[in-house]
Structure 1
């Protein structure tokens, strides 16, 4: 693995630890401390994710046009500004404003990180994206564990801790200039000079894949929104809830030897890996539908974790393979936008379902939605196959 990729992995770890001080507890903070309903909390997170969609697209554009260093630095500086403001003002409605700003700036950073992995180590394939995924989840293991302890003392300290970690990430990001220079790719365009779309089939394939990704994230985000509040109603402490995410992050890192033989055997049969992952997701939500104790939520989280190990690293890998030369930033930005839209819709839809029909019905609906996500996941390569058939005629 190139040294440049190791630097990206360290940066992603620090970034995620910082973010993990805040995102698992957003709904709890708005619901329990700011007195907002689950629907309103979902609406706020919807706005945060919507800003992330814009940030993802902008970040991908800046990456292709000016390089990864500038896109990452731009997003990092905006995030630091937003976090400084959040440390000072985190009552209602200021919390909404700055959370939205952070969603936008974070959206700029993430596709750039994934695109840089693809350009810095193209021969690595799934390995590079899986390494970033592991770093992300190691951060998830560390961040929420610390966040639960800090939040029990004061939520105010969470904002300070997040800011400190992003300042550390800023200094790591200063080292990215060398990487972006060494791996600079001449910008190309999906749009030709005549205005017609090139590589239309690969773009359509990415969009179909993105729909499945959107649906998957829409359901997955319930663990940080409706389910987090549900655990509080059942008397599960913040420390215990945070421990669920620590388990998630550690298991993703330590559980790699368990899934590696399956992944290796399946090779580039990405659809099979996705099918296995989504099926495990469904089992997890079935278990959580009748969970009432911490142990049962822990079992559901363990099952969920094995599911995401099969799905989440595969999607950016496919996006990288679909991307025309010089458009890695655009394709990673676009696929991340679909996940951001899922994160945008999930909290609001889940909040409305929970408020109107209760958690039991909400879980059953989520299981059905997960099953539906298999359709675009299994059909994403149809445009490519049709294009190939047309060439052979």
Structure 2
């Protein structure tokens, strides 16, 4: 792996470690320390995701106009100022403003980092993006573990620790990313490709797949929203809850060498992986619905992680197969937007149902969502049935 990609990987790991100090504890802090309902907490998280969507679109646009290096620095500056403000004052309603600004800044960073990784390792194919993906999960695992320990002393220290690690990331970006080769031309040409180049069958399949993906993310995001607060009512410590995300990241990172041979032998088609992963998601929520103690949540998280490893990488792969030449980035942008919308709306829906009807009703609704998602995953390639190249959906 090129040295420049290593710098990007290290930077993203540091950045995600700092971010993971805070994001698993947002709902808990808003509900338990600021005294707001789960529904209000969900609205705040929705705002954070909405500004992240805006940031992603803006970051991608700025990358094409001024380059990835400047885009990262601009997004980093916004995030750094917001994190400094949050460290200084994390009372209501300032918390909401600063969290929204953090979403905007961090959203700008992601697309630029990915674009620079692809440009720095042009012959690496998906390897550069896989490296960033693994770095993100390492950061989640470390951040969740360290965040739980820090929060056990004082939750106020979480904000300062997040800011400190983000400043380390900024130092890496300022001195390490300046000379990374970037390809500034070609994006506008790709974006100019007419939608006519995409057949109706491919578009219909993508829409069906997006609905399935949205429902899966709506359910998945409850682990950082309503389920995090639910663990507190069962007297599961913040340290133990944070460990669940350490377990999640560890399984993802350490399980990669075992996953590929398994998929090659038992689930060679991408569609099979999505269907199996969604079914595993359903099993995870069935387990957590009856979990009353930490071991039950740990088992449910382990099951959830296996489903995640099957579904999350497979959906972008299908989108890439469905996309016509020159529209790959556009299709990936749609998929990423759908995932973010699931993360944005999920906490609001989950918080409302949990407040109004209780957690048992919420778990039932989530399993229903996943059942619909599974059905759509089974049917998404039906529009391709009449196409002579219909087998592309299962590659």
Q: TM (normalized to structure 2)?
A: 0.88
1:197 alignment partner in structure 2: 195
- Whether 2:286 is the aligned partner of 1:286: answer yes
- Whether 2:161 is the aligned partner of 1:161: answer yes
8 Å Cα contact 1:191/1:198 also seen in 2: no
Structure 2 CA distance for aligned equivalents of residues 7 and 386 of structure 1: 47
Structure 2 CA distance for aligned equivalents of residues 176 and 107 of structure 1: 18
Structure 2 CA distance for aligned equivalents of residues 185 and 386 of structure 1: 37
Tell me by how many angstroms 1:168 deviates.
1.2
Point out where structure 1 has 5 or more consecutive residues left out of the alignment: none
Structure 2 CA distance for aligned equivalents of residues 119 and 332 of structure 1: 17
1:277 alignment partner in structure 2: 277
- Whether 2:19 is the aligned partner of 1:32: answer no
Deviates more, 1:78-87 or 1:170-179: 170-179
Tell me which of the two structures has the higher relative contact order, counting C-alpha pairs closer than 8 angstroms and 6 or more residues apart: 1
For residues 99 and 287 of structure 1, do their structure 2 counterparts lie closer, same or farther at Cα, with a shift above 3 Å needed? same
Structure 2 CA distance for aligned equivalents of residues 318 and 74 of structure 1: 33
For residues 318 and 149 of structure 1, do their structure 2 counterparts lie closer, same or farther at Cα, with a shift above 3 Å needed? same
Matches within 5 A, 1:74-85: 74-85=74-85
SS state of the match for residue 257, structure 2?
helix
Tell me by how many angstroms 1:324 deviates.
6.7
**Structure 1, residues 16-45: CA drift from partner, whole Å, max 9, x if none?**
101101000000000100000111101111
8 Å Cα contact 1:5/1:128 also seen in 2: yes
Structure 1 CA distance for aligned equivalents of residues 197 and 291 of structure 2: 47
Deviates more, 1:256-265 or 1:94-103: 256-265
Deviates more, 1:111-120 or 1:98-107: 111-120
Tell me by how many angstroms 1:369 deviates.
0.7
Structure 2 CA distance for aligned equivalents of residues 143 and 177 of structure 1: 27
Structure 1 CA distance for aligned equivalents of residues 63 and 382 of structure 2: 29
Tell me by how many angstroms 1:198 deviates.
4.9
Structure 1 CA distance for aligned equivalents of residues 180 and 203 of structure 2: 27
Matches within 5 A, 1:1-393: 1-121=1-121, 124-174=124-174, 175-181=176-182, 183-189=183-189, 192=192, 196-201=194-199, 207-265=207-265, 269-319=269-319, 330-378=330-378
8 Å Cα contact 1:226/1:351 also seen in 2: yes
RMSD, aligned α-carbons: 2.8
For residues 121 and 264 of structure 1, do their structure 2 counterparts lie closer, same or farther at Cα, with a shift above 3 Å needed? farther
8 Å Cα contact 2:75/2:109 also seen in 1: yes
8 Å Cα contact 1:248/1:301 also seen in 2: yes
Q: TM (normalized to structure 1)?
A: 0.88
Structure 1 CA distance for aligned equivalents of residues 267 and 287 of structure 2: 30
8 Å Cα contact 2:191/2:327 also seen in 1: no
Structure 2 CA distance for aligned equivalents of residues 319 and 65 of structure 1: 26
Point out where structure 2 has 5 or more consecutive residues left out of the alignment: 391-395
SS state of the match for residue 236, structure 2?
coil
Deviates more, 1:252-261 or 1:91-100: 252-261
SS state of the match for residue 21, structure 2?
coil
Tell me by how many angstroms 1:219 deviates.
1.0
8 Å Cα contact 2:198/2:323 also seen in 1: no
Tell me by how many angstroms 1:118 deviates.
4.2
SS state of the match for residue 195, structure 2?
coil
SS state of the match for residue 90, structure 1?
coil
Tell me by how many angstroms 1:188 deviates.
2.7
For residues 205 and 172 of structure 1, do their structure 2 counterparts lie closer, same or farther at Cα, with a shift above 3 Å needed? farther
Tell me by how many angstroms 1:318 deviates.
4.5
SS state of the match for residue 291, structure 1?
coil
**Structure 1, residues 27-68: CA drift from partner, whole Å, max 9, x if none?**
000010000011110111111111112112222222334433
Tell me by how many angstroms 1:330 deviates.
4.9
